[in-house]
Structure 1
Amino acid sequence: MPAINQEPSILKYKHELGKRRLKPDERRKQLTLCALQAFAENGVARATHSHVAKLAGVAIPTVHSYFRSREDLESAVLDEVENYLIKLVTDSLGGKKSVEEALTTLATRFANDATTKSDIIKVWLDWSTGVRAGVWPRYLTLLDKLHSIARPVFSRGKREGILSENLNVKAAARLFIGGGHTLALMQFAKVPNRDLAIYMDQFIQSLMNIGKP
């Protein structure tokens, strides 16, 4: 598995913003980053304006002036997670890659981003468990979007004869996105890199061979 490239600390970025007077759009960005961290640490159902204010070093009313209700705050965080995941899947599966290369690229990103984009991935994982919460229908809509982005790769594989003609494209897309979810969980469980790489290889190969004799 490729080495994980650590990105600049979001905490450092938020600290830099906090050292000067911010324009409204900069303050909103700072508060959104802090909200992501708050939701990652406290959960989608439990994070509040006070958690965000503490992380940002501002008064609670300041957070309310940008996100009037908890629903507004929650929506802003889920927007960030949704936009990131859609871009992640689109970029990883796009371009001039073979089917296997595309699948491997995305699987690797799912694993790596659990470290380099941990707040976003933690919120994604927590969001996925909120079956009885009001955010569940939105999560199902996001899954549909991710599946629809993944399906063309499997359809192309069937056309090229790389994948079995018996492969169900819809089912394969579901399996693949679900496998990415598992890879992120394994990273948080601190599974050794060697074991993670073995799982990833076997996962990709199993998808490539579904329906073959």
Structure 2
Amino acid sequence: MTRPVRTARTRLTPEARRAQLLECALAAFAENGLARATHSHVAERAGVSVPAVHSYFRTREDLVAAVLGEVEAYLIEVVSTALGGRKSVHEALRSLAVNFSNAAREKPDMTKVWLDWSTGVRADVWARYMALLERLYGIAQKLLERGKQEGVIPPALNARAAARVYLGGGHTVALMKFSGATPREFEAVIEHLVRGAMGLGVGEVLPA
């Protein structure tokens, strides 16, 4: 059951109203899907009229673009924060895998829209998702290349391919959260992801 966030009589600045509507849009898209969510779903959640939503997001395309922009910015921040800086390669890779798991619990609407977006192969938003993935792959690849320079990753490792597989595993970790996986299952998958990204086999000692 949807619950209005605020009533139409609440006076908000245009910036605050837009932020409120965008928050409601994320929830509406998480519940109804990218292909089906509408201005009406957002209006119902926000407790405002449909024309009020249209005044901020004129068309459905505008609404979809705004929602995807939020997801895009969130994913870039999560990946950049975890894999950037001077943390060890192992620590950074593990940190991001754990963050993907936590995101499904802490930001379920954001995560559900992301997962829905990732399956829209035939949709007109697919090209934007592919562009986002390329950017995320680049961030992960940079970390793995640093690991090769530091000698903690085998020189022969294909960093681009490893980045693709690793981030695909992050997608799996997020899905596992909604399936009720146990902490032990998460730990096993995360360790496998980190080892695979670093080109290490089972039993090999992870670098500090």
Q: What TM-score results when the alignment is normalised by the length of structure 2?
A: 0.91
Tell me whether 1:200 sits opposite 2:166 in the alignment. Answer: no
Alpha-carbon distance change, 171 to 49 in structure 1, aligned in 2, over 3 angstroms = same
Which residue is equivalent to 2:19? 29
Runs of 4+ in 1 over 6 A off after TM superposition: 16-19
Percent identical: 54
CA positional deviation for 1:61 = 0.6
The residue type equivalent to 1:111 in the other structure is S
Which residue is equivalent to 2:129? 139
Which residue is equivalent to 2:152? 162
CA positional deviation for 1:95 = 1.7
Alpha-carbon distance change, 18 to 167 in structure 1, aligned in 2, over 3 angstroms = farther
Instruction: Say whether the 8 Å CA contact 1:93–1:103 is kept in structure 2.
Output: yes
RMSD: 2.1
Aligned residues: 202
Alpha-carbon distance between aligned partners in 2 of 1:17 and 1:198, rounded to the nearest angstrom: 46
The residue type equivalent to 2:12 in the other structure is L
* Residue in structure 2 matching 1:58, options 38, 45, 48: 48
Tell me whether 1:72 sits opposite 2:62 in the alignment. Answer: yes
Alpha-carbon distance between aligned partners in 1 of 2:7 and 2:70, rounded to the nearest angstrom: 19
Which residue is equivalent to 1:105? 95
Which residue is equivalent to 1:6? none
Which residue is equivalent to 1:149? 139
Task: String of CA shifts for 1:67-98, please: whole Å, max 9, x gaps.
Answer: 01000000000000000100110011112200
CA positional deviation for 1:206 = 2.6
Instruction: Say whether the 8 Å CA contact 2:26–2:67 is kept in structure 1.
Output: yes
Which residue is equivalent to 1:130? 120
Q: What TM-score results when the alignment is normalised by the length of structure 1?
A: 0.89
Instruction: Say whether the 8 Å CA contact 2:6–2:47 is kept in structure 1.
Output: no
CA positional deviation for 1:205 = 1.8
Alpha-carbon distance between aligned partners in 1 of 2:161 and 2:37, rounded to the nearest angstrom: 34
CA positional deviation for 1:19 = 7.7
Alpha-carbon distance between aligned partners in 1 of 2:195 and 2:163, rounded to the nearest angstrom: 14
Which residue is equivalent to 1:85? 75
CA positional deviation for 1:24 = 0.6
Instruction: Say whether the 8 Å CA contact 1:167–1:211 is kept in structure 2.
Output: no
Larger deviation, residues 193-202 vs 57-66: 193-202
